């Protein structure tokens, strides 16, 4: 059961990352989803700025340990995405900045595009 919970936590973590990156685009015209995305941004930014371990990583490692599996000390992104692709088990400051940019860039652009779409002057001809 703990192994299953570890995989569920990993899937939840990956889902959160996808939502953080694509949420601004998905939330266009959906106020409830926009609020959820902004909460996710705030929570993730608070954990990142505090230098704390992500709770999802902590919980995944707890369940991995309880299942008798190896745990990992680096973060989710390094463990599942960076290390398998590069063989490097940690991120330097430049690579960390790229990870943040990969999250913040699409978010800012998505909200700018959404904002531009809602602020456009729309003229209806009234049946002409």
pLDDT in tens, 55-100: 999 999 999 999 999 999 888 988 998 888 888 888 888 888 888 8
Confirm whether 123 is domain-assigned.
no
Long-range contacts of 70-76 (CB under 8 A, 24+ apart): 76/10, 76/13, 76/14, 76/17
pLDDT digits (tens, 9 = 90+) for 12-57: 999 999 999 999 999 988 999 999 999 999 999 999 899 899 999 9
Residue 105: domain span: 2-118
Long-range contacts of 48-53 (CB under 8 A, 24+ apart): 48/100
SS3 content of the chain, % helix, strand, coil (to 5): 75, 0, 25
Per-residue pLDDT at 89: 81
Confirm whether 81 is domain-assigned.
yes
Domain count, the chain: 1
CA distance 104 to 42: 12
Confirm whether 128 is domain-assigned.
no
**Site of tokens 């902004």:** 38
CA distance 90 to 63: 22
Confirm whether 126 is domain-assigned.
no
Confirm whether 8 is domain-assigned.
yes
Confirm whether 127 is domain-assigned.
no
Q: Could you tell me if 22 and 106 are in contact, meaning their C-beta atoms sit under 8 angstroms apart?
A: yes
Query: Is this structure's pTM higher than 0.85?
Result: no
Confirm whether 72 is domain-assigned.
yes
Confirm whether 70 is domain-assigned.
yes
């Amino acid at each position: 059961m703990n192994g299953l919970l570890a995989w569920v936590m990993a899937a939840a973590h990956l889902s959160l990352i996808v939502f953080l990156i694509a949420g601004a685009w998905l939330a266009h015209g959906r106020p409830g989803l926009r609020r959820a995305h902004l909460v996710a941004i705030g929570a993730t930014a608070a954990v990142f700025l505090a230098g704390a371990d992500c709770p999802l990583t902590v919980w995944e490692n707890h369940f991995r340990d309880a299942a008798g599996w190896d745990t990992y000390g680096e973060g989710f992104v390094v463990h599942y995405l960076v290390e398998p692709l590069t063989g490097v088990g940690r991120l330097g400051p430049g690579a960390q900045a790229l990870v943040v940019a990969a999250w913040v860039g699409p978010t800012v652009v998505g909200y700018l595009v959404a904002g531009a779409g809602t602020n456009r002057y729309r003229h209806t001809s009234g049946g002409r």
